[in-house]
Chain A
Amino acid sequence: MSIYLLSTQSLLDTLTNEPAMKAWKATVPASSIKLSSISIGLALNDIAEVRDSNEKDELNDALDKTIQSVKIYDGIVPFDAALVWSKLMRMKKLLHQDGPDPIEVSSESRMVVATALDKGFTLVDAPRPFHSAIPKLKVKSP
């Protein structure tokens, strides 16, 4: 059975039931889902910047319930993949977005990817250019 680590964007898309995530999460066992503590921190940080207090409350509540649902299966993964992360940090051209205005993957997202590589998890993420640049990275795009 595959074990899935949600990328930070996949976690954020879970909170709002984006169509692709909504359909996918109905097909996978809850026990197969993992969340990186890094992604949780990033999500909390982004939610803190939402100005509308109602929307902020909704997002915080949805994140809290998502964490609860994963936590009962010991699905929260702390970051302890420093060695793999250091190798990813030395890789140039790890693109989150290509084209005329390319964007490199942030160091925080590399920590999430490093966790997936280190633990053998399948990263749940929308298709990104960097996926094919990392050997052995398993990706599921809902």
Chain B
Amino acid sequence: MNLGFLTALQDLPVQEDSRLEKALAELLLLHLLDHPLTVRKARDNFSSINRLARQGNLQIIKGAPGEETVILSVKDLAAIIKATVREMTFAEALEASGFKPARHRIVLTEGLRVGRDHALNTEKVKSTPVEASAAR
């Protein structure tokens, strides 16, 4: 898979479907090894087209804008997903996970817990014998 193609995926305009499809088609053509195929040529040469796709060369079969067909290996599809997923913002990743904000804000209790944070209260711990604290 072409690294330039994968990197460019990260800059695609994902906010609007129509803009995304147009930009993606342009990007695919830019990184295509050969010209897009007609349906007839794809049918007549499917074995070699399939082999090229397996080798990492995306194949495009002509169609109406947005309806072109892309042939690629699962390995390349995984690389595409990985490249695009890596650039999701934290907010987008949360949204994709189904995150729903909770209503109840928690404020962390900070500060020393006397008797628990021994390293920070060494003197206090040392000055309080076990017998004395047990007697209280």
Contacts and interface: CB of A to CB of B under 8 A. Distances in A.
Interface string B101-129: 11111111111110001011000000000
Chain B contact residues: over half helix, strand or loop, or mixed? loop
Interface residues on A, range: 35 or more
- Size class of the contact patch on chain B: 20 to 34
B12 to A, nearest CB: 15
Contacts of A72: 85, 93
Contacts of B103: 16, 55, 58
B112 A26 contact: no
Interface of A: 8-9, 12-18, 22, 25-33, 42-43, 46-47, 50, 52, 55, 58-59, 61-62, 65-66, 68-70, 72-73, 89-90, 96-97, 103-107, 109
Contact of A66 (B89, B94, B105): B94
Nearest to A110: B120
A107 B99 CA distance: 30
B89 A28 contact: yes
Given A30-B93, A47-B106, A55-B102, 19 more contacts: A12-B107, A12-B108, A13-B105, A22-B91, A25-B89, A28-B89, A29-B88, A30-B94, A32-B90, A58-B100, A59-B102, A62-B99, A65-B94, A66-B99, A69-B99, A70-B93, A103-B111, A105-B110, A107-B117
